[in-house]
Amino acid sequence: MRTETLKDVDDALEQQTSATVHHTTKTMPRWLSRLDFALGLIVSVPAAVLVLAEIVLLFSGVIARYVLHHPLIWSDELAAILFLWLAMTGAATALHRGSHMRMTALVNRMGEHWDPFWDTISLVASMLFLGLILVPSIAYIRQQWDILTPTMEINDGLRVAAIIFGVVSMLLICVVKLLAIGAKTAITGIAVSLVTVFALEHAGPVLQSLGNLNLVIFFVGVVGFTVLSGMPIAFSFGLSVFAYLSLSTSMPLEIVVSRMDEGMSQILLLAVPMFIFLGLLIEMTGMARAMINFLASLLGHVRGGLSYVLVGAMYLISGISGSKAADMAAVAPILFPEMKKRGENPGELVALLSATGAQTETVPPSIVLITIGSVTGVSISALFTGGLLPGLVLAFMLCLLVWWRARKFEPTSSTGAAWSLVGKAFVISIPALALPVVIRMAVVEGVATATEVSTVGIAYAVVAGLLVYRCFSWKRIGPMLVETAALSGAILVIIGTATAMAWALTQSGFSHGLANFMQHLPGGAFTFMVVSIFMFIILGSVLEGIPAIVLFGPLLFPIARAVGIHEVQYAMVVILSMGLGLFSPPFGVGYYGACAVSKISPNLGIRPIMGYMTALFIGIAVIAAVPWISTGFLKS
């Protein structure tokens, strides 16, 4: 197997970063290229500084509370303020680098000569969303201006100003990109977009008379078209919400901004950038190479060996951060480089990563389990106990599919490594293998919260890289911080716009109508369970786990009890069904999060993910049919 020196890796990363950052400048006039470069610095430098500031702030909170026994009562508050700025500057950085999640499979089939046209449509639609959100954002800042934070007494408008900065920056970046496209193509794309907007605007009175049929028009039709036309997923979700509210309701549009703020500002999500940076750090310090060498010595001669490792790794670390995106960010950067070297298809990798994200939704300590217990009254300890075996059942189903798909391919080595080499690789990898143990123990022992624990891992990785593996490059820290901010921003802005979409669905009365329909289904427990599975798969792709649970849990769990379904079993089926929807393209937000974390195009995973989702669906059906899987270990 080919090995790379640290210098080779450094150079490759710098070349990749440079190529990514300046990919839009190659065909630009000189003055436009300079403007593009300046915009890149304006958004990426603050984003990198904010990532570093959050790391230092959270780790200082751990030291102050656990070591010095003098907690920083203001640290969480400041971290929350900086977090929204990180999300928005990161989103702008991702747009400048072209790293927002897009679905371009359909557009690519039309031929290269159509690319400029669809790029223009995507840019104009993105600018339309950004333009629509700008005025409500100003109104939202005015609403928040008189609100002071409880501890530091900082004006909340300063935090919300991040939205204005991000929106204006992204608008300017879109304008630069549009100017770089040929005039004829740009004019054509703008004209088509304006005609579409004009037609929808004049259809407003008709749309307002359609009631909840507008949910299909905007959240299926508009989202489906914009996603498949190559528009960034986050902007597609946001545009559909704005179109729905402005054309078919009389609700104030600043509500969309407040919902986006709520979705992006959940302090638990701060684990996402922290774990993304930890994953990059593990790779840079040589810890990833040590772990992979040991795992390869054990399973390198087995067909699909590292795929089994991926399934097991996601099961073991799931729930540490409370965020699936953070869990994936902790695993993918470690395993994927080596798996690619071994000839694995990138589409297969991101498909399996998405599937493992759905598979581990019930593994405690899961924030979804805690939420479902809180809103339905089901014992959280019972949910924790009942969630372990369903995750293993789905892991078994995925491993069966991995075995089936890998049977045609020869492993890298036909014979296993000598036990002396396995032992040597194990000794070398001990400091790296101890990292997940350190992270989990830090949470269990109360050293750090789920949000802070990644910084404990970062500190551990820095020490291990400097003193143990002696593989640490200071010049890579800057590009890694920028990369972290861009990936985080791309993920967080999707979560923000998806939260706004979930709120719009709630306000439409759709949830109560659906619960009423479920209550009057014929066929008893069997029909109710079957319909629940399909319903929550669909809801999971639109609402994500927690909003759907909060919305439908209190309504549907009493019905499940009434028809004789054990509440813990129903919880497992509901959570896993939502996970299946959450990680299923084209609407599942989790799938695009997996693509962002692994830096693999969404197009590549569409075909292979269908098999993994089918395996998960069969596993969910087994869990629904066999109550013991969820309830067998509960105390009677």
Where is 133: in which H helix or E strand? helix 115-144
pLDDT at 628: 93
Q: Which residues contact 3 (CB under 8 A, 6 or more apart)?
A: none
Reported for 520-527, long-range contacts at CB under 8 A and 24+ positions apart, including other chains, are 524/563, 524/564, 525/563, 525/564, 525/565
CA 546, 569, 384 angle in degrees (round to 5)? 65
Residue 101 has pLDDT above 80, yes or no: no
- Of 71-85, 112-126, 192-206, 217-231, least confident by mean pLDDT is 192-206
How confident is the model over 178-196, as pLDDT tens digits?
888 767 777 777 787 778 7
- Which comes out higher in pLDDT, residue 556 or 459? 459
pLDDT higher than threshold 70 for residue 472: yes
- Residue 481 is predicted with a pLDDT of 94
Query: Percent of the chain having pLDDT more than 70?
Result: 86
Position 409 scores a pLDDT of: 67
Residue 14: its pLDDT value, please?
Answer: 39
Is pLDDT at 212 greater than 70 in this prediction? yes
Peptide bond into 29 cis (omega under 30): no
Model confidence at 44, in pLDDT bands (50, 70, 90)? very high
Looking at residue 23, what is its pLDDT? Answer: 40
**pLDDT value at residue 597:** 79
Residue ranges of domains in the chain: 6-267, 270-363+385-472, 508-631
Average pLDDT over residues 565-575: 92
Least confident of 39-53, 68-82, 277-291: 277-291
Position of tokens 């492993």? 411
Q: Taking all residues of the chain, what is their mean pLDDT, rounded to a whole number?
A: 80
pLDDT tens-digit readout, 395-409: 999 999 888 887 776
pLDDT greater at residue 259 or residue 266: 259
pLDDT classification of 10: cutoffs 50, 70, 90: very low
| pLDDT score at 120 | 82
**In sequence order, which residues have a C-beta less than 8 Å from that of residue 106 and are 6 or more positions away?**
228, 229
Instruction: Encode pLDDT of 580-597 as tens digits.
Output: 988 888 777 788 878 877
Average of pLDDT values for 359-364? Answer: 82
Give yes or no for residue 19 having a pLDDT over 70.
no
Would the pLDDT of 153 be above 80?
Answer: yes
Count CB atoms within 10 A of the CB of residue 547.
22
Predicted confidence band of residue 424 (pLDDT cuts 50, 70, 90): confident
Residue for token pair 């009254």: 377
pLDDT at 12 over 60: no
Q: Give me the pLDDT at residue 551, please.
A: 62
Structure confidence by residue, pLDDT tens digits, 440-471: 788 777 788 767 888 888 999 999 989 888 88
Q: Average pLDDT, stretch 270-287?
A: 81
Residue 547 is predicted with a pLDDT of 61
Whether the predicted pLDDT of 157 surpasses 50: yes
pTM: 0.74
Residue whose token pair is 């959940």: 266
Give Cα separations from 130 to 235, 335, 477, 485, 563 (angstroms). Answer: 8, 37, 31, 20, 47
Give the phi and the psi of residue 496 in degrees, each rounded to 5. Answer: -65, -50
* Rounded mean pLDDT, 244-251: 82
The pLDDT, as a whole number, for residue 425 is 80
Closest among 402, 395, 390 to 315, alpha carbons compared: 395
Q: What integer is the mean pLDDT of 338-348?
A: 79
Residues 23-35: tens digit of each pLDDT: 444 467 888 888 9
Name the pLDDT band for 38 (thresholds 50, 70, 90).
Answer: very high
The pLDDT of residue 335 is: 78
Which of 329, 352, 334, 345 lies closest to 296 in space, CA to CA? 334
In the DSSP assignment, the letter for residue 491 is H
Structure tokens at 559: 């019905």
Which of 365-379, 484-498, 523-537 bottoms out in mean pLDDT, i.e. has the lowest?
365-379
Question: Are 75 and 59 spatial neighbours (Cβ–Cβ below 8 Å)?
Answer: no
Residue 232: what pLDDT?
Answer: 85
